[in-house]
Structure 1
Amino acid sequence: MKRLLITGAAGALGRAMRTRLAPLAETLRLSDISDLGTASENEELVQCDLGDADAVHRLVEGCDGIVHLGGISVEDKFSKILNANLLGLFNLYEAARANGHPRILFASSNHTVGFYRQDQHIDATAPMRPDGLYGVSKCFGEALARMYFEKFGQETALVRIGSCMEKPSNHRMLATWMSYDDFRSMIECIFRAPMLGCPIIWGVSNNDSRWWDNSHAAYLGWKPKDNAEHFRAELDATLGKQDPAAPLNVYQGGNFVKDPIFPET
């Protein structure tokens, strides 16, 4: 690609992908509402509020692909989620429609299905069961992306990210963990595929304990290699015996199922 846009580039996942995705494009355009530090040789840094439609239009202009990691990534006040995750996403898709339909990776979430139990194994056809306002915003995002695909042909990979970090930090993540390297290889497959469509892809490594079936997206050629099972002994030693009745160990969304709805005042 000539220019790849990464939104949310100042966040933890954005920072992790910043160097890993550099070989995919001649130029990385990195965007966030927060400080992005100093640009490397092949980087463009753009501070942008996703709620500003004109700014988002300028942000997308000239981009061949978009890795959309931007927005609120935890449960929060609806007004914050509304601006970043709903209005901001609409602005992004309108900007993409006006600028040649660059292929998009939309960072959705496992919290679209958080109320499934951990003893249930599901695929992309399972009905949504969001566990909070954040999860609802990702359900909206998936529906919006699907409409833009059906109506305008805008291709999007709907990646329901589990827990993408250096290593799992609790026993739930033995099922949900996705390594940075596996995410990078997924992104490569998404932008390399001759035809993408609008598939749901579970963002999870090759974990022995995983709950999600990605067989429907096998045509992309993505084969995650890492396995959270390597961290089980370390977690057992540091966290000790787990309460099997705790939401963290019962629901796929973990503690998000019990998070309160945050008041606006």
Structure 2
Amino acid sequence: MTIKVHEKLLLTGAAGGLGKALRERLKANCSVLRLSDVQPFGAAAANEEVILADLADSAAVHTMVQGVDAIVHLGGVSVEGPFGPILQANILGAYNLYEAARKSGVKRIVFASSNHVTGFYRQDQTITADHPPRPDGMYGLSKAFGEDLSRLYFDRYGIETACVRIGSSFAEPKDRRMLATWLSFDDLHRLITACLTTPVLGHSIVFGMSNNAVTWWDNSRARHIGYVPQDSSDIFREAVYARTPAPDLKDPVAQYQGGGFVVAGPFGD
């Protein structure tokens, strides 16, 4: 059972893949779900509000945040690419969101960080939230900035944040790498629910993964959140092996946790 501890919840990035997966699920967490994205994505349904906002527009973000009790922040650029759009959406956008939260009195945020904050650790390593960031590109760098920004706003203003380093959240794993990084949609909702409802969140870094047998991430630093994944990539392992070739261990894509992001670019194009 999901306990409603917030009257009005804001979900940014509602038109994206994970936003669509969470739209119905998050209604169990609140009485009113406010949805936001930069582009039109349809009318509000029952118990919903829809607000269009560019994260780089400070005034629009302040309007978007006003009156909500907590925020699930998925908005922004979610892939590797040129620095300009990432700067506007992920760096300036994150600053605008936290400033709006501060001014509006919002005290809890679930920030969609990424496994690409640590993408240059090797796949033969197991890391914890205490390991220093090793971003694998401009996207990962922007998420590392967001984690540091949220730490500042916790230390200075008491805004609690869970930085959820999302692995690969899809209906099922697409390749062998995702057997380690996969996060089911239902486990994503369980993780966000835990972040919203744990009595004391503080500033926490959590790896967003299901209960996969193979993993590169130790989530023990986040036990106070109470996240218990119930799904696993293991049921897909045989099918994934059958349709994909064995990895070339000399290929950086197979060496590093960030996969294809470690060779994506060039950044300026």
Instruction: Settle same-fold status: TM greater than 0.5.
Output: yes
1:44 corresponds, among 49, 61, 76, to 49
What residue ranges of structure 2 are gaps of 5+ in the alignment? 1-5
State the alpha-carbon separation in 2 of the partners of residues 261 and 154 from structure 1.
36
Are residues 1:176 and 2:195 paired? no
Q: More displaced, 229-238 or 139-148?
A: 229-238
Letter paired with 1:90: Y
TM alignment of 1:208-219, pairs within 5 A: 208-219=213-224
State the alpha-carbon separation in 2 of the partners of residues 232 and 258 from structure 1.
25
For the Cα contact (< 8 Å) 1:132–1:261, is it kept in 2?
no
TM-score by structure 2 length?
0.96
Are residues 1:148 and 2:161 paired? no
RMSD across aligned C-alpha pairs, in angstroms? 1.0
In the alignment, which residue of structure 1 is the partner of 2:163? 158
Q: Structure 1, residues 95-122: CA drift from partner, whole Å, max 9, x if none? A: 0000112310000000011011100000
Q: More displaced, 88-97 or 182-191?
A: 182-191
State the alpha-carbon separation in 1 of the partners of residues 266 and 157 from structure 2.
35
For the Cα contact (< 8 Å) 1:106–1:159, is it kept in 2?
yes
TM-score by structure 1 length?
0.97
**Residue 204 of structure 1, CA deviation:** 0.6
In the alignment, which residue of structure 1 is the partner of 2:3? none
SS at match of 1:178: coil
State the alpha-carbon separation in 2 of the partners of residues 121 and 240 from structure 1.
24
SS at match of 2:45: coil
For the Cα contact (< 8 Å) 1:107–1:161, is it kept in 2?
yes
Letter paired with 1:37: G
Are residues 1:11 and 2:16 paired? yes
Letter paired with 2:14: A
In the alignment, which residue of structure 2 is the partner of 1:105? 110
Are residues 1:192 and 2:191 paired? no
**Residue 241 of structure 1, CA deviation:** 3.1
What residue ranges of structure 1 are gaps of 5+ in the alignment? none
4+ residue runs of structure 1 moved beyond 3 angstroms?
none
In the alignment, which residue of structure 2 is the partner of 1:54? 59
2:208 corresponds, among 178, 195, 203, to 203
Are residues 1:29 and 2:29 paired? no
Q: Structure 1, residues 47-66: CA drift from partner, whole Å, max 9, x if none? A: 11000001100100000110
How many positions carry a matched residue from both structures?
A: 264
State the alpha-carbon separation in 2 of the partners of residues 55 and 128 from structure 1.
31
For the Cα contact (< 8 Å) 1:111–1:253, is it kept in 2?
yes
State the alpha-carbon separation in 1 of the partners of residues 77 and 245 from structure 2.
32
State the alpha-carbon separation in 1 of the partners of residues 235 and 40 from structure 2.
35
In the alignment, which residue of structure 2 is the partner of 1:252? 257
In the alignment, which residue of structure 1 is the partner of 2:128? 123
State the alpha-carbon separation in 2 of the partners of residues 16 and 247 from structure 1.
31
